[in-house]
Amino acid sequence: MNQKTMDILWAPWRMEFIKKKKSRGCFLCEMIKGKNTEFLIWKGKYSIVVMNAYPYNNGHLMIAPIKHTKDINHISEKEVQEIFSALKECVQILKKVMKPDGFNVGINLGKCAGAGLLGHIHIHIVPRWNGDTNFMPVISATKVIPQSLEQLSIILKKNFSNYKEDR
């Protein structure tokens, strides 16, 4: 019998997440309330910018309204303006800090569209580099993130420190 050998990717930092007590609430709302703010990059009057704790690529950010809603039609024009202004700032800062070749920007509305957090609408900003789909994900179904989230969080917070949404 021909058996495939098991691939092992050593990631000891994941043990903290595995052992951590899971919240039943909305993690975005918890950040807004001042809990678990390690990856909260910026908070405005109507929206927040957070790092994705399970990034597709290094620098994967999310923008969400402070209002907990799953319906895009329940976001006011002021919220839309601040969210889009924050989107522009995210792209500008990521270009400066990470020098990507492009971006994927999107919103998943509903479970069938890929939304992992169904109750709180958010926009994904994913930096992309030419060749970032290399042999690791193609051959071994493994994605390599070359920088710790904590390290990148410090850099992004520093770059967002002068951002004012009402420019």
- CA–CA distance, 124 with 106 (Å, rounded to integer): 5
Give yes or no: 122 in active site: yes
Rounded to 10 degrees, the C-alpha dihedral 141/146/149/151 comes to 170
- CA–CA distance, 62 with 126 (Å, rounded to integer): 9
- CA–CA distance, 116 with 53 (Å, rounded to integer): 12
SS3 36: coil
- CA–CA distance, 156 with 97 (Å, rounded to integer): 8
pLDDT per residue as tens, the chain (167 positions) = 556 665 555 666 666 656 766 667 889 999 999 998 999 999 999 999 999 888 878 899 999 999 999 999 999 999 999 999 999 999 999 999 999 999 999 998 888 877 778 889 999 999 998 877 655 454 555 555 667 788 888 889 998 888 876 54
Q: Is 124 annotated as a binding residue?
A: yes
- CA–CA distance, 110 with 67 (Å, rounded to integer): 17
CA angle 6, 53, 118 (to 5 degrees): 105
Positive or negative torsion for Cα 62, 66, 68, 73? negative
At residue 167, the pLDDT reads 46
- CA–CA distance, 71 with 62 (Å, rounded to integer): 17
CATH architecture of the domain with residue range 27-147: 2-Layer Sandwich (3.30)
Whole-structure pTM value: 0.77
At residue 57, the pLDDT reads 84
- The overall longest dimension of the chain from CA atoms, in Å, is 66
Q: Is 58 annotated as a binding residue?
A: no
Structure token pair of residue 35: 């809990």
**For the chain, what are the domain ranges?**
27-147
